[in-house]
Amino acid sequence: MRKSVLAMSGLILVMVAACSKNPFTGKQDLNFVSNDQIFPTAFQQYDQFLKENKVIKGTADAQRVVTVGQKIKAAAEKYLNANGYQGYLNGYAWEYNLVQDPAVNAWCMPGGKIVVYTGILPITKDDAGLATVMGHEVAHALVNHGAQRMSASQLQEIGAAGVQAATAGKSAAAQNIYMQAYGITSEYGGMLPFSRKHENEADEIGLTLMAIAGYNPDKAVEFWERMEANAGGAAPPEFMSTHPSGATRIAHIKSLAPNAKAQAAKFGVKF
């Protein structure tokens, strides 16, 4: 019992010490992995990925990815500087690349390293659709979602160690039952909702960024409707997914669009 109390006390101390302020939401987020730790590895992985895949250069689509990406970056700088976060992007090394791949995907590594797959372009359809995707992915990087997930994973491991300590005097069968229960509750009750929270945050911040960049956030709804149609209903139940369902996401984005427009209006952008 004493071991379990000590383990939980240590877990609480780690969580309190590891909170940092989210510059877009104003809330405290769990994160004890610094950019100095994560950026060098991310940059190396990005360079290695580019070497191993076909990067498209010199085409209209490749230029669109760069142009839209630069506008999203500029929007992020405007927002952060205007809200007292000058220097927040120090250390970022922005890069935008279109990669030949049929996957309907795009991503942004910590530090602003972006890849858009050619497979998503028929669904993005236009610059506003592309800005929806890139704004969303950049948002993940700006608020350190990758580092937060790493931090949460480490806490999950600490929690498992606490369960093991608390059940040390029980039979092997009993210990196994407790560990299975912990695994299920921590995953579906913690890690997956934690990931869905990140997706919702990225949607909200991404809308703000695309609006400040001059792209109508209403167009984001059209993009996600195309994404939903492309998926054809092939998705796991929402409570088992790291992403919200298509219908949930679309309704959420519709509700967020007015605020994104209001944020853009502060920078002289009106729709």
In SS3 terms, 82-117 reads as: HCCCCCCCCCCCCEEEEECCCCCCEEEECCCEEEEE
Spatial distance between the Cα atoms of 132 and 65, rounded to a whole number of angstroms: 12
**Among candidates 220, 248, 21, which has minimal Cα distance to 135?**
220
CA 230 to chain centre: 22
Pairing of β 106-109 and β 19-21? unpaired
Whether 218 contacts 224, CB under 8 Å: no
The dihedral region occupied by 58, where left means phi > 0, alpha psi between -120 and 50, and beta the remainder, is left
Whether 190 contacts 47, CB under 8 Å: no
Spatial distance between the Cα atoms of 154 and 181, rounded to a whole number of angstroms: 18
Cα 234 to Cα 29, 196, 230, 238: the distances in Å are 32, 18, 9, 12
Catalytic annotation, pick one of 52, 77, 137, 157: 137
Active site residue 187: no
Q: Which residues are catalytic?
A: 137
